Amino acid sequence: MLDLHTQIRRLNRPQLLVRAARFALTDYQLGRDLSRLLDGRVPATPGPTLMILMERETEMEAARRAQSYDYRIGDHITALCAIMSEARDLAATRPCPVPPPT
């Protein structure tokens, strides 16, 4: 299984969706948005939170690709914002390892 940093780097989403998430990140509020995404059960540290968010976002991506009737782009953008925010918090507490030069 890949570590969280690698999983995040390997996310391949439409550019417009990522740009919308980056733009919305300025209005992202951890308490409000993360609690809503995770049904009020927010882990205390970024690592476990990121794992749950990645699973939820993967489900949202599958729904988007399947053109599911219950897909909500706003929730998907919020999930990507939360992933960006939590990844930043995780990197601040434990920097991403730099691969050795080849």
pTM exceeds 0.75, yes or no: yes
pLDDT for position 18: 92
Distance of alpha carbon 25 from alpha carbon 84, whole angstroms: 8
Structure tokens at 72: 């909500």
pLDDT for position 98: 55
Find out whether 2 and 10 touch, Cβ atoms under 8 Å. Answer: yes
Per-residue pLDDT of the chain (102 residues; tens, 9 = 90+): 457 777 887 888 999 999 999 999 888 888 888 888 888 887 777 788 888 899 999 999 999 999 999 999 999 999 999 998 888 877 776 655 555 555
pLDDT for position 97: 56
pLDDT for position 64: 96
Task: Label residues 41-65 b or e (16+ Cβ within 10 Å = b).
Answer: eeeeebeebbebbbebbeebbebbe
